[in-house]
Chains A and B, each alone.
Chain A
């Protein structure tokens, strides 16, 4: 049955179509500017997936187009098609090949995940406080200094954001960093970012939090370490009491599982 199909031509058409789609899709910068060490790794994974997906999509389109071109019934033809009930080899193939592809994707994703979340030796800890509908930030390594609506971070140093929500769930997202994490009432969640590009970005709330959700934004400034130190030394405010309490109160998301004491 397979012998009667122009398999080589169909495969060539699939590869050609996949190549065109991939070339166009990979050349577009989908995710926007890359400004953290995680960003290029995530974008590479995305591009690999775009190429693999283009192949799958092209295969479906070519298979459908050829069938419609070749096996369309002539007007008035009331006869039936050939009574082919299946083909075990083909069925095994389209079970196994996709399994291998997705397991490769899972393995690759796992590697990327471990890389982007690899803890550094001396991360800078910054506390993030979210409340309907505003962001504020604490700098525990700098005497508990505190800013509202404006986050400053030094360039090229890993930052562990420790997040605390005061009312409902909010979510911390800086698209250029490709990093997102929910802030959940009652627990401390952590996001790890190493910014590697100077500039001003926007922090966007991505978890529906009420009528002010769309406008819950903050300014993010990545600056040279010396500039950061100078800036932070000039900050006058200190973390207010309720926020301090939330740091003490909120439990860690990932307590040590083995051993009775835990974290």
Chain B
């Protein structure tokens, strides 16, 4: 027992959590006593003793779990051994449940954690659709309903879509650029372990007095500043997810900029690497804004500051400006990595170089720049300055241009190729192109102020965001999971089950989200537990398709679990790819490469006679490496 407490791990982590939480609680109680206040405060927006404990408890866990051990030893001048790799790599399944610095282990930890929350949040979606199958309230009351859709969105966004891309890139990206690991492996591990904390806080908010946070995932003030304790769980969960996200983005930036293998110029990077470079640029600069906005809400709630309290001189609308200054770029944070995945999958399975590679990379950068100038299109009817609307409309519509470039370039890649559709990843990639186009079109319509005035905050918005985030992001996530499943697990998945999952998901997505456009335009507002009887039939239809969509995800879950355990062994390069991750075994060796590979050409040189992207150690004699400065795409 004493030994277990000395070693980093779950026991010390649990102890750290308890001690941390007790310390936070005691600190508040003591300070309140010393100030002559009642020790325990239970105003619905308050509970400072619990709010502080919710910060110190998780920090205690991270400390106990071992996330800071190396740094602390180094900081106090104790001996550290940089070459000690005992926490690196998975030698048994138990290593996946430990603090581990191997980017491949962390990648798997991310993806599994994210999909756990995907299914938790998916269940909430099923409850939401069950309630909405008929007009009137049958299954949950209106307050619980508000909590359900708020938690559904928060979990899907902050602990599924945003981090699952980081998880996949964590696994694949260092391999792709020929790096032995991420630039900061310990920071990488810390980033991961902050994430389940955020997810658990969102879920645990249902246990808080007054129920889960119920002001929507947007948490607009002053509804959020006056909401019960559950809202503080959201405010704090976002901090942990956001800190995780920012640290990972920094890690990606440094890794991509400084750790590419010799010969890998920027114009030889696979588009997935370009996509994560762009995404990371968005994350590091935008995410602090939502962190700030949620802190301000928390301070308004607990400390009675007046950031958003109009009666105290605060400004209600400024919450929305700060929130959307993150949350619109966040839409691209949730989309650009998916664009990268689609480029990899389509190029490999049509055996063709990416059409217009450089313009594809520049389009990503164009989206990054433009996405900082469109946030107020979420606020056309919010009562902000009316002169801000037209400039924001123009930038919003212009962002369709780089997105269109990507769509047409993927289509161009297919032409004169040899298209293989045996892989479920390719099916999702092709379906993504059409489904995402619909989301893009409704996005352009929403960008137009007069149309937005009518459909803002209706089911049209719900339809749009699900076409973009489910038909867009989640389709690319499935494409990526199927594509790299052999690499990550060393096993092949079942393509027959993959196909059933694909077709079920495609039909379910269109059937669920397409009719939502219609009911929205015809007068059904969003975020309502009850609605006018005239929309009853459409909503029943939507719910039926939603249940189909939900059910086929269980096939995916079964396929992944069973194939991981019993699937046939995967070869190193089952899809005959050219980028470096396919040149190593499946799964790759613990330290990726015996010797850093040399990059000698572009990543998509299919059909070019004798073209190579990279040369691994031991085969250097075959091809002579050209000067690294020579650009070839």
Distance of B72 from chain A, by nearest CB (Å): 44
Q: Is A123 in contact with chain B by the CB < 8 A criterion?
A: no
Q: Is B414 in contact with chain A by the CB < 8 A criterion?
A: yes
Instruction: Tell me which residues across on chain A come within 8 A of B142, comparing CB atoms.
Output: 211-214
Distance of B162 from chain A, by nearest CB (Å): 23
Q: Is B93 in contact with chain A by the CB < 8 A criterion?
A: no
One of A49-57, A148-156, A220-228, A230-238 contacting the partner: A49-57
B418 with A187: CB separation less than 8 A: no
Instruction: Tell me which residues across on chain B come within 8 A of A87, comparing CB atoms.
Output: 355-356, 412
Question: Given A32-B523, A64-B430, A178-B453, are A85 and B215 also a contact pair (CB < 8 Å)?
Answer: no
Instruction: Tell me which residues across on chain A come within 8 A of B518, comparing CB atoms.
Output: 30
What 1/0 mask marks residues of chain B from 26 to 54 whose CB sits below 8 Å from any chain A CB? 00000000000000000000000000000
Q: Which residue of B lies closest to A186 (CB)?
A: B310
Question: Given A79-B418, A81-B417, A253-B385, are A49 and B451 also a contact pair (CB < 8 Å)?
Answer: yes
A110 with B393: CB separation less than 8 A: yes
B222 with A168: CB separation less than 8 A: yes
CA distance A98 to B398 in the complex (A): 9
CA distance A202 to B531 in the complex (A): 13
Distance of A99 from chain B, by nearest CB (Å): 5
Distance of B265 from chain A, by nearest CB (Å): 16
Q: Is A61 in contact with chain B by the CB < 8 A criterion?
A: yes
CA distance A57 to B490 in the complex (A): 39
Instruction: Tell me which residues across on chain A come within 8 A of B521, comparing CB atoms.
Output: 30-32
Instruction: Tell me which residues across on chain B come within 8 A of A86, comparing CB atoms.
Output: 355-359, 412
Instruction: Tell me which residues across on chain A come within 8 A of B404, comparing CB atoms.
Output: 56, 94, 98
A32 with B316: CB separation less than 8 A: no
Question: Given A71-B416, A98-B404, A109-B449, are A211 and B352 also a contact pair (CB < 8 Å)?
Answer: no
What 1/0 mask marks residues of chain B from 248 to 265 whose CB sits below 8 Å from any chain A CB? 000000000000000000
CA distance A84 to B604 in the complex (A): 11
Distance of B119 from chain A, by nearest CB (Å): 26
Instruction: Tell me which residues across on chain B come within 8 A of A31, comparing CB atoms.
Output: 454, 521-522
Question: Given A68-B430, A86-B359, are A182 and B416 also a contact pair (CB < 8 Å)?
Answer: no
Chain A interface SS verdict (over half): mixed
A79 with B445: CB separation less than 8 A: no
B-facing residues in A85-117 (Cβ within 8 Å): 85-87, 90-91, 94-95, 98-99, 102-103, 105-106, 109-110, 112-113, 116-117
Question: Given A90-B412, A99-B398, are A64 and B389 also a contact pair (CB < 8 Å)?
Answer: no
A73 with B457: CB separation less than 8 A: no
Q: Is B500 in contact with chain A by the CB < 8 A criterion?
A: no
What 1/0 mask marks residues of chain B from 589 to 633 whose CB sits below 8 Å from any chain A CB? 000000000000000011110010000000000000000000001
Which of B418, B458, B529, B605 is the most central at the interface, judged by chain A CB atoms within 10 Å of its CB?
B418
Q: Is B574 in contact with chain A by the CB < 8 A criterion?
A: no
B222 with A60: CB separation less than 8 A: no
A57 with B381: CB separation less than 8 A: no
Question: Given A106-B397, A169-B220, are A45 and B448 also a contact pair (CB < 8 Å)?
Answer: yes
Partner of A184, one of B311, B316, B457: B316
Partner of B352, one of A77, A81, A90, A175: A81
CA distance A61 to B456 in the complex (A): 28
Q: Is A208 in contact with chain B by the CB < 8 A criterion?
A: yes
What 1/0 mask marks residues of chain B from 136 to 148 whose CB sits below 8 Å from any chain A CB? 0000011100100
Q: Is B421 in contact with chain A by the CB < 8 A criterion?
A: yes
B397 with A103: CB separation less than 8 A: yes
A-facing residues in B196-229 (Cβ within 8 Å): 214-216, 220, 222-223, 226
CA distance A215 to B137 in the complex (A): 11
Question: Given A86-B356, A91-B356, A99-B398, are A173 and B525 also a contact pair (CB < 8 Å)?
Answer: yes
Instruction: Tell me which residues across on chain B come within 8 A of A113, comparing CB atoms.
Output: 389-390, 449-450
B355 with A80: CB separation less than 8 A: no
CA distance A252 to B531 in the complex (A): 33
Instruction: Tell me which residues across on chain B come within 8 A of A206, comparing CB atoms.
Output: 456-458, 525-526
A208 with B401: CB separation less than 8 A: no
Question: Given A110-B393, A175-B523, are A80 and B418 also a contact pair (CB < 8 Å)?
Answer: yes
B606 with A83: CB separation less than 8 A: yes
A186 with B454: CB separation less than 8 A: no
Q: Is A63 in contact with chain B by the CB < 8 A criterion?
A: yes
Instruction: Tell me which residues across on chain A come within 8 A of B527, comparing CB atoms.
Output: 208, 213
Question: Given A83-B606, A113-B390, are A53 and B444 also a contact pair (CB < 8 Å)?
Answer: yes
Q: Is B561 in contact with chain A by the CB < 8 A criterion?
A: no
A85 with B383: CB separation less than 8 A: no
Count how many pairs of residues, one from A and one from B, have CB atoms less than 8 Å apart in the complex: 267
Q: Is B419 in contact with chain A by the CB < 8 A criterion?
A: yes
Instruction: Tell me which residues across on chain A come within 8 A of B496, comparing CB atoms.
Output: none
A83 with B608: CB separation less than 8 A: yes
B441 with A56: CB separation less than 8 A: yes
Partner of A171, one of B223, B381, B419, B529: B381
What 1/0 mask marks residues of chain B from 397 to 428 whose CB sits below 8 Å from any chain A CB? 11011001101110110111111110000000
Instruction: Tell me which residues across on chain A come within 8 A of B438, comparing CB atoms.
Output: 57
Question: Given A73-B419, A79-B351, A187-B317, are A112 and B393 also a contact pair (CB < 8 Å)?
Answer: no
Instruction: Tell me which residues across on chain A come within 8 A of B437, comparing CB atoms.
Output: 56-57, 60
CA distance A184 to B449 in the complex (A): 19
CA distance A233 to B396 in the complex (A): 47
Instruction: Tell me which residues across on chain A come within 8 A of B401, comparing CB atoms.
Output: 95, 98-99, 102
Q: Which residue of B lies closest to A94 (CB)?
A: B408
Instruction: Tell me which residues across on chain B come within 8 A of A53, comparing CB atoms.
Output: 441, 444-445
Q: Is B58 in contact with chain A by the CB < 8 A criterion?
A: no
A-facing residues in B501-528 (Cβ within 8 Å): 518, 521-523, 525-528
Question: Given A53-B445, A106-B393, are A185 and B419 also a contact pair (CB < 8 Å)?
Answer: no
Q: Is A205 in contact with chain B by the CB < 8 A criterion?
A: yes
Q: Is B63 in contact with chain A by the CB < 8 A criterion?
A: no
CA distance A146 to B174 in the complex (A): 67
B-facing residues in A1-57 (Cβ within 8 Å): 1, 4-5, 30-32, 38, 41-42, 45-46, 49, 53, 56-57
Instruction: Tell me which residues across on chain A come within 8 A of B352, comparing CB atoms.
Output: 80-84
B419 with A184: CB separation less than 8 A: no
A254 with B385: CB separation less than 8 A: yes
CA distance A107 to B451 in the complex (A): 14
Distance of B134 from chain A, by nearest CB (Å): 14
Question: Given A61-B434, A208-B223, A214-B531, are A109 and B525 also a contact pair (CB < 8 Å)?
Answer: no
Instruction: Tell me which residues across on chain B come within 8 A of A213, comparing CB atoms.
Output: 142, 146, 527-528
What 1/0 mask marks residues of chain B from 463 to 481 whose CB sits below 8 Å from any chain A CB? 0000000000000000000
Distance of B537 from chain A, by nearest CB (Å): 16
Q: Is B387 in contact with chain A by the CB < 8 A criterion?
A: yes
A106 with B394: CB separation less than 8 A: yes
A209 with B223: CB separation less than 8 A: yes
Instruction: Tell me which residues across on chain B come within 8 A of A42, comparing CB atoms.
Output: 450-451, 453-454
Q: Is B576 in contact with chain A by the CB < 8 A criterion?
A: yes
Q: Is A140 in contact with chain B by the CB < 8 A criterion?
A: no
Distance of B456 from chain A, by nearest CB (Å): 6
Distance of B356 from chain A, by nearest CB (Å): 4
A98 with B576: CB separation less than 8 A: no
A207 with B457: CB separation less than 8 A: yes
Instruction: Tell me which residues across on chain B come within 8 A of A187, comparing CB atoms.
Output: 310, 316-317, 383
B607 with A83: CB separation less than 8 A: yes
Q: Is B433 in contact with chain A by the CB < 8 A criterion?
A: yes
B411 with A60: CB separation less than 8 A: yes
Can you pick out 11 interface pairs between chain A and chain B where the beta carbons lie within 8 Å of each other? A30-B521, A57-B437, A71-B417, A78-B576, A86-B355, A109-B393, A182-B381, A207-B457, A209-B223, A214-B529, A253-B384
Task: Using A106-B393, A206-B526 as known contacts, list a sample of 18 further A-B pairs with CB atoms less than 8 Å apart, ordered by residue number in A.
Answer: A38-B450, A45-B448, A53-B444, A60-B407, A64-B433, A71-B417, A73-B419, A81-B350, A84-B355, A84-B415, A98-B400, A173-B457, A180-B453, A204-B523, A205-B525, A206-B525, A208-B215, A213-B527
Across the A-B interface, give the 3 residue pairs with the lowest CB-CB distance, nearest first. Answer: A186-B310, A81-B417, A214-B528
